[in-house]
Amino acid sequence: MAEFLIYADNHFPPDGEPELQASLRSRERERAGELRAAGNLRRLWRRPGTTGWIALWEAPDATELHDQLASLPMFPYLDITVEPLATHPQER
Amino acid sequence: MAEFLIYADNHFPPDGEPELQASLRSRERERAGELRAAGNLRRLWRRPGTTGWIALWEAPDATELHDQLASLPMFPYLDITVEPLATHPQER
Amino acid sequence: MAEFLIYADNHFPPDGEPELQASLRSRERERAGELRAAGNLRRLWRRPGTTGWIALWEAPDATELHDQLASLPMFPYLDITVEPLATHPQER
Amino acid sequence: MAEFLIYADNHFPPDGEPELQASLRSRERERAGELRAAGNLRRLWRRPGTTGWIALWEAPDATELHDQLASLPMFPYLDITVEPLATHPQER
Amino acid sequence: MAEFLIYADNHFPPDGEPELQASLRSRERERAGELRAAGNLRRLWRRPGTTGWIALWEAPDATELHDQLASLPMFPYLDITVEPLATHPQER
Amino acid sequence: MAEFLIYADNHFPPDGEPELQASLRSRERERAGELRAAGNLRRLWRRPGTTGWIALWEAPDATELHDQLASLPMFPYLDITVEPLATHPQER
Amino acid sequence: MAEFLIYADNHFPPDGEPELQASLRSRERERAGELRAAGNLRRLWRRPGTTGWIALWEAPDATELHDQLASLPMFPYLDITVEPLATHPQER
Amino acid sequence: MAEFLIYADNHFPPDGEPELQASLRSRERERAGELRAAGNLRRLWRRPGTTGWIALWEAPDATELHDQLASLPMFPYLDITVEPLATHPQER
Amino acid sequence: MAEFLIYADNHFPPDGEPELQASLRSRERERAGELRAAGNLRRLWRRPGTTGWIALWEAPDATELHDQLASLPMFPYLDITVEPLATHPQER
Amino acid sequence: MAEFLIYADNHFPPDGEPELQASLRSRERERAGELRAAGNLRRLWRRPGTTGWIALWEAPDATELHDQLASLPMFPYLDITVEPLATHPQER
C-alpha cells in the first residue's frame, strides 16, 4: 500500500441549497467511514478556518486512489491535490 | 493559550441581498464581541481597501480556533488563512 | 498535544563538505530518534525525488514545536513550513 | 501612530561566521529592546520552524517605519514585507 | 500626509446591467473629483488593456485611506491592493 | 507498476568545473541507460531551452521511485517534482 | 511529428445539467478515440483526485494541435496548458 | 511607434448565448482587420489549447494602445496583460 | 512622454565590499539627480523595510527608458520590473 | 516552420569577470547574427530594465529550437521559457 497526503478545498457555494448540503454531508460521513474501515482513509484533519480537509490516505496506487476519492459524495465540489509520499529511511 | 494570525478575505457578492448582508454584519459584530469578551479575539484590523480583515487570535489549539472561526455568521463567505505564532525569545 | 504537518526543503549545497554532511546526517538521525521516542515526531516521509521531508508532528504548541525543530542539527539548512491541523469532526 | 504587520525572513547564511552571527544577534536584541521601549515594536513572534519573525509595529508613518527597520543590525540579512493595517470599525 | 500606491482591478461583470454600470461610472467620476479636490487622489492611471487603475494617493493614515477608498461607488466591484510608500532619502 | 511524470531542473552552476560536469554527464547517461533497460525510465524529453528534462517513469511505488531518482549521479544538482498519474478510464 | 504534454483542468460546473454532461462525456470518448486512432493522442492519464487529465500528444505543429484540442466536445469547459517537448539526446 | 506584446485570456462563458458569441466573433474579426490595416495589430497568434491570443502590437504609447484594445468588441470578456518591448541593441 | 512605474529590488550582497557599495551609492545619487533634472525621474520612493525603490518615470518610449535605467551605476544589482501606464480618462 | 516566443532572463553575475562577459557578448552577437540570417531568429527585443530578452523564433520543431538556443554562447547563464504559438484563424 502506498501513502498519499490529500488536500481538499471545499467550494460548495455559501448560498447552496441547505438540504443538498445536509444530504451531501451525511453521505460523505458514511462513505468516509467505509473508506476508514477499509484502511484507506488513515487520518483526517480539518484545515482550521476552512471547510476543507487534509487526509493521510493509503491505496495500492494512484488509480485506485482516484476511484476512492471520486466515490466521495462531495467530490464534485472538492478541489483536490495529491502528494505522493515515500517511506523515509528512518522508518524503513 | 496559543496565538494565531488570522487573514480573512470576504467574498460576499457585490450584488448579494442587502438585507442578508445587513443581518450578517449585525450578527457578525455581536459574535465578534462575544469572542473578544472571551479573550479569543485579541485584535482586529481592516485590510485597507478591502472588506477583509486580519485578527490576532488566542485559542487553546487549532481545533478550538476552528470552532470559533466557524461560529462567525459571515464564515460561509470568508476565505480564511491561519498562521500559527511562536513566542519569540525576546518576549519569553 | 496539537498536531502539525511540517514541510522541510533541504538546501545543503551539492558541493558542501562531505564530512560535514555525513556528520549532520548522523546527528540528525540521532536527534530525530529522540523526538520520535518523546512522541513528537509521529511520522516522517521522504518527498520523492528530493532530499526534503514531510512530518506529522505533535507538540503542546507552536513555541515548543519551534524549539524542537530548531534542535535538529540540519536546521540551518532547512526551509520549513508549518501547517496547523485541527481535529476533524469525524475523528472526535 | 499607524500600525503595521512586519514579516521578516532571515537569510543569514548557514555557513556564516559564528562570531558575526553572535554579534548581530546580541546587537539585534539590544536595538529591539530600544524600539520596544519607545513604543514602536509592540509585539514580536517567531515564525515556527524558521529564523524569521513577525512583528506588530507602530510608527508615525512608513518613512519612520523604514528608518526604524533599517536601524536593526540584522537588516542587511532580512527580507522584509510591510502590511499596513487600518483600524477596524469594531475597535473604533 | 502619507503616500500610497493603490492598485484596483475592476470585476464588474461583462453582462452586468448597463444602466447600473453607467450610474456607477458617473458617480465614480464625481466622487473621484471630490477626492482629487481634497488632495487625496493625486494621480490616476489606467492599466492599459484593463478596466482597472493605479493611483497615487495621500491620506493621513491607512484608516482614513480605507474610508476614502470605501466611499467610491464602484468599491464593491473593486479588488484593491495597497502599497505603502516611504519617502526616499533623495527626496528628503 | 505505477506511472509518474518527473520534472527535473538542472542547476549545475555555469561556472562549475568542466571535468566534473563531463564526468557527471557520462555517468548520468550510463545510469539512465540501466534504468531504461530495467523498464523504469520509459520516456525522456528535453525541456526546450533548458538543461532540464521531463520523464515518464514507472516504479512499483514512490519509495522505489525515490531510490531510483536518487541513484542518478546528477541528483544533487537536480530540482525534481513528481506528479503521480492514474490510469484514465479510456485506457483501462 | 512533434510531441507535447497537454494538461487539462475540467471546470464543468458541479450543478451542470446531468444530460449535457453525459452527452459531452460520450462524445468526448468518441472523439478521443478518433484522435487516438489517428496517432495524435498517444497516452492519456487521469490526474488523481480531479476530473482533469494529462496527455502525451503528437501533432505536426502547434496549429494542428490546437485544432485537434478544440475539436474535443468538452473543450469549452477545459482549461488547457501546452508544454512543448524536445527529443532528449539519449533518445536520438 | 512603440511595440508591445499583448496577452489575452478569453473568458466568454461556455454556456453563453451562441448568438451573442457569434456576433462578437464576427465584429471582433472586423475590428481586428481595421487595426491590422492601420498598422497597429502586427501579428496575432492563438495560444494553443485556449481561446486566448497573443499579439505583437504597435501604438504611439500606452494610452492609445488602451483605446485600441478597449475598442475590441470582445474586450469585456478579455483578461489582458501588456508587456512593453524595448528595441534590442542588435536590431538598432 | 510616456509614464511608467518602475519597481526595483536591490540585491547588492550583505557581505559586499563596503567601499564598492559606498561608491555605487554616491554615483547612483548623482546619476539619479541628472535623470531628475532631465525630467525622467519624476518621483522616487523607498519601499519600506527594503533597499529597493519605486519610481514614477517619464520617457519617450521603452527603449529610451531602458537606456536610462541601464545607466544607473547600481543597475547590475537591480531586479527591475516595468509597468506601463496609460492616461486615465479622468485626467485627459 | 513553427513559431515560438522565447523569454530569456540573463543571470550572468554582477561581479563576473568583465573579460568573460565581453567575450560572451561579442560571440553572442555573432551567433545571433547567424541565426537571424538563417531565418530562425525573427525578432529580438530587450525587456526594459533588464539584461534579458524576448524573441520571436522560427524552427522546424522544439528539438531543433533547443539546439539553436543551446548554441548561444550565453546559454549557460540564461533562464529560458518557451511558448509555442499557433497560427490564428485571422492570419490563415
pLDDT band, residue J72 (cuts 50/70/90): very high
Each domain of chain A, given as residue ranges in start order, spans 2-86
- The whole-number average pLDDT for the span C14-32 is 96
Q: pLDDT for B22-48, tens place per residue?
A: 999 999 999 999 999 999 999 999 999
Query: Pick from H75, H82, H70, H78: which is nearest to H11 by CA?
Result: H78
> Which residue from G66, G77, G78 is facing H48, i.e. has the nearest CB?
G66
Question: What's the average model confidence in pLDDT over J64-69?
Answer: 98
User: What pLDDT is recorded for position H92?
Assistant: 86
Superfamily of segment(s) G2-85: Dimeric alpha+beta barrel (3.30.70.1060)
Cell digits of residue G85? 517537448
Is domain A2-86 annotated with CATH 1.10.10.10?
no
pLDDT of residue I47: 98
Alpha helices in J2-87 (DSSP H): 18-37, 62-70
User: What confidence score (pLDDT) does residue F33 get?
Assistant: 98
Which chain I positions have a beta carbon within 8 Å of H71's beta carbon? none
Looking at beta carbons, which residues of chain E come within 8 Å of I29? 90
Touching pair F, C by Cβ (3+ pairs < 8 Å): yes
Which residues from chain G sit within 8 angstroms of residue J3, using beta carbons?
62
Interface I:H, ≥3 CB–CB pairs < 8 Å: yes
Residue (of F3, F5, F1, F2) closest to F81 by Cα position: F5
Task: Tell me, yes or no, if E85 comes closer than 8 A to chain B by beta carbon.
Answer: no
I58 touches chain E (CB under 8 A): no
Distance of CA D25 to the CA centre of its chain: 13
Question: Could you give the CA distance from residue J12 to residue J30 in angstroms, rounded to a whole number?
Answer: 18
What's the longest Cα–Cα distance across chain H? 49
Q: Give J11-33 pLDDT, tens digit per residue.
A: 999 999 999 999 999 999 999 99
Sign, Cα dihedral of B89, B90, B92, C4: negative
Number of neighbours of residue B48 by Cβ within 10 angstroms: 27
Average pLDDT, chain J: 97
pLDDT at G30: 97
Distance of alpha carbon E4 from the chain centroid: 10
Residue H19, number of CB atoms within 10 A of its CB: 8
Determine the CATH number of domain H2-91. Answer: 3.30.70.1060
Is the model's pLDDT at C5 over the cut of 90? Answer: yes
Among G85, G91, G92, pick the best mutation site for testing chain F contact (most F Cβ within 10 A).
G85
Tell me C9's DSSP state. Answer: E
* Residue G92 reports pLDDT greater than 90: no
Tell me whether G25 touches chain A (CB under 8 Å): no
Give percent of chain C above pLDDT 70: 100
Mean pLDDT of G15-37: 96
Task: For chain A, give the number of residues.
Answer: 92
Above 90 in pLDDT, residue E92? no
CB-CB under 8 Å, H56 with J56 = yes
Q: Are F6 and F76 in contact (CB under 8 A)?
A: no
Is the model's pLDDT at A92 over the cut of 90? no
Residue D25 touches chain B, beta carbons under 8 Å? no
Taking the Cβ of residue J48 and every Cβ of chain I, the question of whether any pair is shorter than 8 Å is answered with yes
Contact between J24 and H73 (Cβ < 8 Å)? no
- Distance between CA C67 and CA E20 in Å, rounded? 57
Contact state of A86 with F2 under an 8 Å Cβ cutoff: no
Q: To the nearest whole angstrom, how far is the Cα of A89 from the nearest Cα of chain G?
A: 26
Burial of G92 (0-12, 13-18, 19+ CB in 10 A): exposed
- Mean pLDDT of the F86-91 span: 95
Chain J residues close to F49, C-beta within 8 Å: 6, 8, 65-66, 69-70, 78, 80-82
Amino acid at position B36, single letter: R
Burial state string for E57-90 with b = 16 or more CB within 10 A and e = fewer than 16: bbbebbbbbbebbbebbbbbbbebebbbbbbbee
Instruction: For residue H52, name the pLDDT band (cuts at 50, 70, 90).
Output: very high
d(CA G90, nearest CA chain F) in Å: 7
Calculate mean pLDDT across residues A69-90: 97
Angle at the Cα of G24 (from G18 to G25), degrees rounded to 5? Answer: 90
State whether B2 and C2 contact (CB < 8 Å): yes
* pLDDT attached to residue E90: 93
Q: Is D25 exposed, middle or buried (0-12, 13-18, 19+ CB in 10 A)?
A: middle
- Inform me whether the C-beta atom of residue C49 falls under 8 Å from chain F C-beta atoms: yes
**Is a pLDDT exceeding 90 seen at residue J8?**
yes
Contacts of G62 in chain J (CB under 8 A): 2-3, 84-86
Residue B76 has pLDDT above 90, yes or no: yes
Is there a contact between I63 and H82 if contact means CB atoms under 8 Å apart?
Answer: no
What does the pLDDT read at residue I92?
86
Enclosing H/E stretch for D83:
strand D78-87
Q: Residue I91, by phi and psi: left (phi above 0), alpha (psi -120 to 50) or beta? A: alpha
Q: How far is G43 from chain F (nearest CA, A)?
A: 8
Does F81 reach chain J within 8 Å, measured CB to CB?
no
Q: What integer is the mean pLDDT of D55-68?
A: 98
pLDDT score at J92: 86
* Alpha-carbon span I6 to D21, nearest angstrom: 34
Q: Measure G64 CA to nearest chain A CA, in Å.
A: 31
Cα separation of G43 and G58, whole Å? 10
pLDDT of B73 strictly over 90: yes
- What's the CATH class of domain C2-87? alpha beta
Q: D49 and chain C: CB distance < 8 Å anywhere?
A: yes
| CA-closest candidate to residue C33, choices B16, C25, I32 | C25
The residue type at H74: M
d(CA A6, CA E29): 48
Candidates E60, C79, B64; CA nearest to D84 is E60
| Mean predicted lDDT score pLDDT of chain D | 97
Which residues, other chains included, contact D6 with Cβ-Cβ below 8 Å and sequence gap of 6+?
Answer: D54, D55, D56, D57, D69, D80, D81, D82, D83, I49
pLDDT at B86 over 90: yes
Report pLDDT for B31: 98
C-alpha G53/C-alpha E20 separation (Å) is 41
How far is C68 from chain D, CA to nearest CA, in Å? 9
**Per-residue pLDDT for chain I (92 aa), expressed as one digit of tens each?**
999 999 999 999 999 999 999 999 999 999 999 999 999 999 999 999 999 999 999 999 999 999 999 999 999 999 999 999 999 999 98
Chain G: partners with 3+ C-beta pairs within 8 Å: A, F, H, J
Question: 10 Å Cβ neighbour count for A46?
Answer: 23
pLDDT tens sequence across D27-46: 999 999 999 999 999 999 99
* The one-letter amino acid at A45: W
Q: Do chains F and E touch (3 or more CB pairs under 8 A)?
A: no
I76 to J14: CB separation less than 8 angstroms, yes or no:
yes
pLDDT at F92: 86
Mean pLDDT throughout A20-48? 97
Shortest distance between the Cα of J51 and any Cα of chain F, in A, equals 17
Q: What's the CA gap between H80 and H60, in Å, rounded?
A: 19
Distances (CA, A) of B33 to B39, B73, E63, H79, J76: 10, 13, 21, 41, 60
User: Chain B, 27-46: which have a CB under 8 Å from a chain D CB?
Assistant: 29, 32-33, 36, 43-46
Note the CATH architecture for domain J36-79.
Answer: 2-Layer Sandwich (3.30)
Higher pLDDT, residue G29 or C92: G29
From CA E89, how far away is CA I45, in angstroms rounded?
8
pLDDT for the residue C92: 87
Q: Do B48 and D85 touch (CB under 8 A)?
A: yes
Answer whether J touches H (≥3 Cβ pairs < 8 Å): yes
The domain over range B1-11+39-92 is classified in CATH as 1.20.58.390: no
Q: How far is B90 from chain C (nearest CA, A)?
A: 13
The pLDDT value given to residue H51: 97
Of C89, C79, C74, C62, nearest to C8 by C-alpha is C79
